[in-house]
Homo-oligomer: A and B are copies of this chain.
Amino acid sequence: MEILRIPKIMQETSKRHIQKGKTIGFVPTMGALHNGHLSLFKRAREENDIVVASIFVNPTQFGPNEDFDKYPRDIEGDIEKLRTINVDIVFLPETKAMYPDNFLTFLYVEKLSEKLCGAFRPGHFKGVATVVNKLINIIKPHKIYFGQKDYQQCLIIRKMIEDLNIDTEMIICPTIREKDGLAMSSRNAYLKEKERVASALIYKTLVAVSDLIKSNKHPLPKIKEQMLNMLKEEPLFSEIQYASIYDTETLEELTELKKNNLVAIAVKIGDARLIDNIIIEIN
């Protein structure tokens, strides 16, 4: 497994592989790898000649009062995991190499970046779109892999790829969950024991809402109300940032159900901010 730190060298390496006719699958990460990430690598391994991982805790996607400094980092452990699952190249740039002094260029996906998490994390998706664009230009992947847990991020990257004619196919993989349903996330490491137990309520609520939708017996406002009430029962949730049902393409909150419906939640608990979602298709 090659470990590359310099963007230009990573780019030249990718070009060499492409020139030889190899396909490149790329999984961008912020490290602290869990089984959610590993499922992406597994899929990338099946579909490409060369698998590239990036580990980069991207400062431009954190707000000034967010958890950039304490975001979990475990480079040694990550590299060991990537070696085990036969990743070919780990791209591990320094912050200064990605954002030199006087960095000025940003990408922005309008509308989609303002909704849901965007409303609570101003600038977050601008930072995400910018870093993913940079990583794609450096690594030149045929396919790029994201997890559905970050559904809004997936939608924004997909839109960026489409709008900017980027020659990379986006693959969205299912959310991987703990036994009690909690979506895997590097930020779960912030949870104290009681918080960890309480967090299972997020997925439990998503499933309950899904059942209510599928039963086709309840009006949508009633379902939304029940959804909120379920979450409010957990006193450890210090803030319910959003919890409702949204259009899967525009992220507008729905006033009536569609064919596909995004049920999404963001809550704060202890030092963590957790998000999760499921998509419910109805006939």
Contact status A164-B105, CB under 8 Å:
yes
Please tell me which one of the listed residues B107, B134, B137 contacts residue A105 in the complex, with CB atoms under 8 A apart. B107
Chain B residues contacting A109 (CB-CB under 8 Å) are 104-105
Task: Let me know if A56 is at the binding interface, CB within 8 A.
Answer: no
Chain B residues contacting A105 (CB-CB under 8 Å) are 107-110, 129, 159-160, 163-164
How far, in angstroms, from A7 to B166 measured CA to CA in the complex?
A: 11
How far, in angstroms, from A167 to B11 measured CA to CA in the complex?
A: 8
Task: Let me know if A184 is at the binding interface, CB within 8 A.
Answer: no
This chain: how many copies in the complex? 2
Task: Let me know if A68 is at the binding interface, CB within 8 A.
Answer: no
Task: Let me know if A106 is at the binding interface, CB within 8 A.
Answer: yes
Q: How far does the Cβ of A154 sit from chain B's closest Cβ, in whole Å?
A: 15
* Size category of the binding interface on chain A: 20 to 34
Contact status B104-A112, CB under 8 Å:
yes
Please tell me which one of the listed residues B19, B103, B111, B160 contacts residue A163 in the complex, with CB atoms under 8 A apart. B103
Please tell me which one of the listed residues B11, B104, B110, B159 contacts residue A111 in the complex, with CB atoms under 8 A apart. B104
**Which residue of chain B is the closest to A111 with respect to CB atoms?**
B104
Task: Let me know if A165 is at the binding interface, CB within 8 A.
Answer: yes
Task: Let me know if A29 is at the binding interface, CB within 8 A.
Answer: no
Given contacts A105-B129, A129-B105, contact A137 B110 (CB under 8 A): no
How far, in angstroms, from A181 to B129 measured CA to CA in the complex?
A: 44
How far, in angstroms, from A137 to B104 measured CA to CA in the complex?
A: 20
Please tell me which one of the listed residues B11, B110, B133, B164 contacts residue A134 in the complex, with CB atoms under 8 A apart. B164
Chain B residues contacting A165 (CB-CB under 8 Å) are 7, 11, 134, 137-138
Most chain B C-beta atoms within 10 Å of own C-beta, residue among A11, A134, A167: A167
CB proximity to B under 8 Å, residues A118-132: 129-130
How far, in angstroms, from A163 to B133 measured CA to CA in the complex?
A: 10
Q: How far does the Cβ of A61 sit from chain B's closest Cβ, in whole Å?
A: 16
Interface string of A85-107 (1 = CB under 8 A from B): 00000000000000000011111
How far, in angstroms, from A159 to B111 measured CA to CA in the complex?
A: 26
**Which residue of chain B is the closest to A250 with respect to CB atoms?**
B102
**Which residue of chain B is the closest to A167 with respect to CB atoms?**
B11
Q: How far does the Cβ of A155 sit from chain B's closest Cβ, in whole Å?
A: 10
Interface string of A150-187 (1 = CB under 8 A from B): 00000000011001111100000000000000000000
Please tell me which one of the listed residues B7, B21, B163 contacts residue A104 in the complex, with CB atoms under 8 A apart. B163
Please list the residues of chain A having a beta carbon within 8 angstroms of any beta carbon in chain B: 7, 11, 15, 19, 21, 103-112, 129-130, 133-134, 137-138, 140, 159-160, 163-167
